[in-house]
Structure formats: C-alpha cells, structure tokens
C-alpha cells in the first residue's frame, strides 16, 4: 500500500461537485414528482372505485417488488422505444425515478391518510364539505404531521438510491467519484471521501427526521 494522497480530491473537486449537484437535482425532481403522483395513487387506492383502486395497488406493489436497477434498465431501454427517438440517459432516469418513488410515497400517504380517524371525515361531511375539500382542508393537514418524518427518511433513501444511475454511467456524485478513482488510480482516497460525503449528508437528513418525529410524538 503506497501512501494516501487526498490531493486527488482537491484536484477533482469541480468535477465531483458537478456530480453532487446532479445527485441533488435527481433527488429533488424524483421527490417532487413522486410525492404528487404518490398522493394521487394513495387517494385512488383508498377510493370507492374498485377497479381503479386495484390498478393502483398493482402499480404500487409491482414497483415495490422489483429492484431499482432493473427499473433503471427498463426505462433506459423502453423510453426511446416508446417515443420513437433517442433520449438522454438523464431523461430516462428522471422518468424511472419519479414513477418508482411514486410507489413508495403512495404507501406513506396511504398510511398517513388511514391514521386519521373516520370521525374527522364524517365531521367534515356533516359541515357540507366535499370529498376533495375534506381531503385538502381537514385530513391532509393532520396526516402531514405523521408523514413528514417518513417522507424525509424516504428522501434520504432516495438520495442514496440516486447512486444507482452509475449502472448507465450518468455522472452523478457516485459515478463521478468512480471516474476520478479509476482515472487517477486513487480508489481508496476517492471512495473513502465519497462515503464520508454521503454519510454526512444522510446523517443530517436522518437526524432531522428523528427530531421531527420526536417533537410530534403525541405526549
């Protein structure tokens, strides 16, 4: 083992930071899209439309049963085919992540919505509110308290999962680190620093999730 040289990180810093920016971008887009789509899926699943509800359940359980890597491959292959033209790796990955995350966020929403007592729905209906008004004004604001820590935890998982775009060589932080590691033959230093970066970011996320859930735990 030759001496460690962390100078490699310094020299590659702009390149690595660009990768990190893409990781954050992917996380943000996947979370935003996943939350919106996931809420819709959860509402459909809990609705009275039997057929739609079964379809939504199939979507959620299907995506939750297969590896994200396979999903990434699927869309990398499928999106250009479906659109009839070539698309960038980034575009296919964004679609894959949004659809994949929607399945997980929908489960968080479903649990959150179910945690609200039926009496709340009935009270709102009794006041003359409609279904979507009740959802928006009465149920969601209450459910959000229970859900926010879980949503942050899921975001931490998502941030780690963005590293999987490595399999289609999209230059997120993970891929950039591996490029630097192999180009400069500095695997130890680069991977250790990359681990530290992920560890610090995810620990902050995890800590804020547990602080939130502790603060909101019913006394």
List of residues contacting another protein (CB under 8 A): 1, 61-62, 64-70, 73-74, 77-78, 81-82, 84, 156, 160-161, 163-164, 166-167, 174, 177-178, 181, 187-188, 191-192, 194-195, 198-199, 202-203, 206
Give the residue among 107, 76, 77 at the shortest CA–CA distance from 94: 76
Question: What b/e sequence results for 74-94 when a residue is b if at least 16 CB atoms lie within 10 Å of its CB, and e otherwise?
Answer: ebbeebeeeeeeebebbebbb
Q: How far is the CB of 102 from another protein (least distance, A)?
A: 17
Burial of 112 (0-12, 13-18, 19+ CB in 10 A): buried
Pinpoint the alpha helices (H) of the chain.
Answer: 7-11, 13-45, 50-65, 68-83, 89-114, 118-126, 131-133, 140-161, 173-183, 187-216
Closer of 94 and 166 to another protein (Cβ): 166
Closer of 3 and 128 to another protein (Cβ): 3
Q: How far is the CB of 194 from another protein (least distance, A)?
A: 6
Closer of 126 and 219 to another protein (Cβ): 219
Closer of 61 and 122 to another protein (Cβ): 61
Q: How far is the CB of 90 from another protein (least distance, A)?
A: 18
Q: How far is the CB of 53 from another protein (least distance, A)?
A: 19
């Amino acid at each position: 083992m030759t001496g460690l040289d962390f100078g490699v990180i310094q020299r590659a810093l702009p390149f690595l930071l660009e990768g990190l920016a893409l990781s954050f971008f992917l996380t943000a887009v996947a979370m935003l899209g996943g939350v919106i789509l996931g809420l819709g899926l959860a509402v459909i699943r809990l609705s009275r439309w039997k057929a739609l509800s079964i379809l939504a359940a199939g979507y959620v359980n299907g995506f939750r049963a297969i590896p994200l890597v396979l999903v990434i491959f699927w869309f990398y292959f499928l999106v250009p085919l479906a659109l009839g033209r070539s698309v960038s790796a980034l575009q296919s990955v964004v679609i894959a992540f949004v659809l994949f995350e929607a399945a997980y966020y929908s489960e968080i929403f479903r649990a959150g919505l179910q945690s609200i007592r039926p009496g709340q729905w009935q009270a709102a209906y009794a006041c003359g509110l409609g279904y979507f008004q009740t959802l928006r004004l009465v149920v969601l604001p209450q459910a959000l308290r229970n859900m926010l820590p879980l949503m942050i935890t899921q975001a931490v998982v998502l941030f780690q999962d963005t590293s999987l775009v490595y399999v289609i060589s999209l230059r997120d932080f993970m891929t950039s680190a591996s490029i630097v590691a192999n180009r400069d033959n500095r695997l130890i230093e680069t991977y250790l620093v990359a681990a530290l970066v992920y560890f610090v970011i995810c620990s902050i996320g995890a800590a804020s999730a547990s602080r939130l859930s502790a603060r909101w735990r019913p006394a």
